A and B are shown apart, each in its own frame.
Chain A
Amino acid sequence: MIEITNLSKNFGKMPALRSVNLTFSKGECVALIGPNGCGKTTLIKSILSMVIPSEGKIAVFGESITNNFAYRRHIGYMPQIGRYPDNMTIRQVIDMVKDIRASTTKNRDIATDESLIEDFHLAGMEDKRMRTLSGGTTQKVSATLAFLFKPEIIILDEPTAGLDPLSSEVLKDKILTEKQNGKLTLITSHLLSELDDLVTSIVFMQDGAVRFHKSVDDLKNFTGEEKISKAIATILKNQSHE
């Protein structure tokens, strides 16, 4: 579903991505991990065209995303820190996004999925203005928006940061359900333990380059470890010995 070929990005002279090649397909749940500043967010933003690549190309459903905007109808995105117009209420933000989305297509009735509103217990606070919300609640709104249009591809940037454990579980359940529906999910996180039962493959990035891209099963078999975090630690150790 997503094909990334030779993607490089420089911010000024600083390379943020160095010829990244990745392919993600249907039903996968990919964890993008790596230390801070390794290029995870840049990669995600490149897929969303929020960052314009210096070199290389990205295709979504076979369509190049260069000078293309329509492909984003397939993607739901939850940013690391979501900020919304201060004066609007939660309901207004959701309605606005729906309204704006509807205005981009001829077909005015888009199927939406607002189940997260219930699951996050947002329903009672829909009339609160965005500026009065806590960080966690804002994250819940962001998550709701990411799943709102039943996208084929879901991109979550540090989704559980700021969420309480209960809500994290809700979100994980949601991701799991969508995975079973055959959606592609990309998650960045540096809390590996959180991803154990979710992810099907792992992309480890360092200094803007992909160190490895392996399925979880391969990873576990290869290292003989049960926990993903341990498996990664082992593999990194091995690589540095080579």
Chain B
Amino acid sequence: MNRIITYIVLNIVRSNIVVVYTLLLAALSWGIFSVEDNTSKGILTLLNVILLTVPLVSLIFSTIYLYNSSEFIELLLSQPIRRSTIWWSLFWGLTLSMQLAFLLGAGIPIYVYAPPDVGLIMIAMGLCITAVFVSIAFLSAILTRDKAKGIGIAIMAWLFFALMFDGLVLFLLFQFADYPIEKIMVGITALNPIDLARVLILLHIDVSAMMGYTGAIFKDFFGTTLGMIIALGILLLWVAVPYTVSLMKFNKKDL
């Protein structure tokens, strides 16, 4: 790990928002698991935390952090350091800090309470989703100089992926109910990292339902090792593509 990442992580970890985020996740997770005598219900609540709270906080916090560190970026830029190194370090600094917050806040209770396979996939997806939305934050922060606009873009992105996308899919499902669209639907799901993560977790929580009824779709795709690798690959693309686009823009950006 390079020095810049270390400093960014140290800086972020000390900031109040990340501490609050960690405590919030911890309070939610421990709270849910200790109140519910039924672990599977606790897991479902945490699933929503992973699919809603984690993307939102990762996205908004990272966007704001990027805007607020423009001077820090300038300071680094006056040093003999590549622009790409700076951007890369910011990305990993933010990602690792948010992932650390997630691991400490939610990862530990999940590890303690959830069955091992479910816990593992939930933690893995939480980490992936964090990286994906930090990456999307980089894109929204570089698209405009205006901080308010940038945060607006980030919130819209979150609304889109967390809510509107599913509404759209549901609409399509009903419109084309008479056609064999299962495979296309799987493809469309992959277009939304939150949905992809949700389906991968569902395969472990609702194993009986997922392996059955719509078996052809799930078992034959996500249920196989190849499917799992493809799904993870798509999640990685969701990290890589927005980041790369933002890097290309950052390389040409005037500060």
Q: Which residues of A contact B (CB under 8 A)?
A: 9, 11, 45, 48-52, 69-73, 75-77, 79, 81-88, 96-97, 99-104, 145
Contacts and interface: CB of A to CB of B under 8 A. Distances in A.
B41 interface: no
B252 A52 contact: yes
Interface in B47-77: 69-72, 74-77
A97 B74 contact: no
B112 to A, nearest CB: 31
Contacts of B70: 83
A155 to B, nearest CB: 8
B4 interface: yes
A109 to B, nearest CB: 15
B3 A99 contact: yes
B2 interface: yes
Contacts of A81: 71
Contact of A87 (B15, B74, B77, B81): B15
A123 to B, nearest CB: 21
Contacts of A75: 78
B254 interface: yes
B183 interface: no
Interface string B197-224: 0000000000000000000000000000
Given A45-B254, A45-B255, A100-B4, A69 B82 contact: yes
Top 10 closest A-B pairs, CB basis? Answer: A83-B71, A77-B78, A73-B80, A72-B80, A103-B3, A51-B254, A50-B255, A85-B11, A69-B82, A87-B14
Contact of B7 (A49, A71, A100, A104): A100
A72 B86 CA distance: 14
B79 A72 contact: yes
B72 A101 contact: no
A83 B72 contact: yes
B118 to A, nearest CB: 37
A14 to B, nearest CB: 12
A181 to B, nearest CB: 20
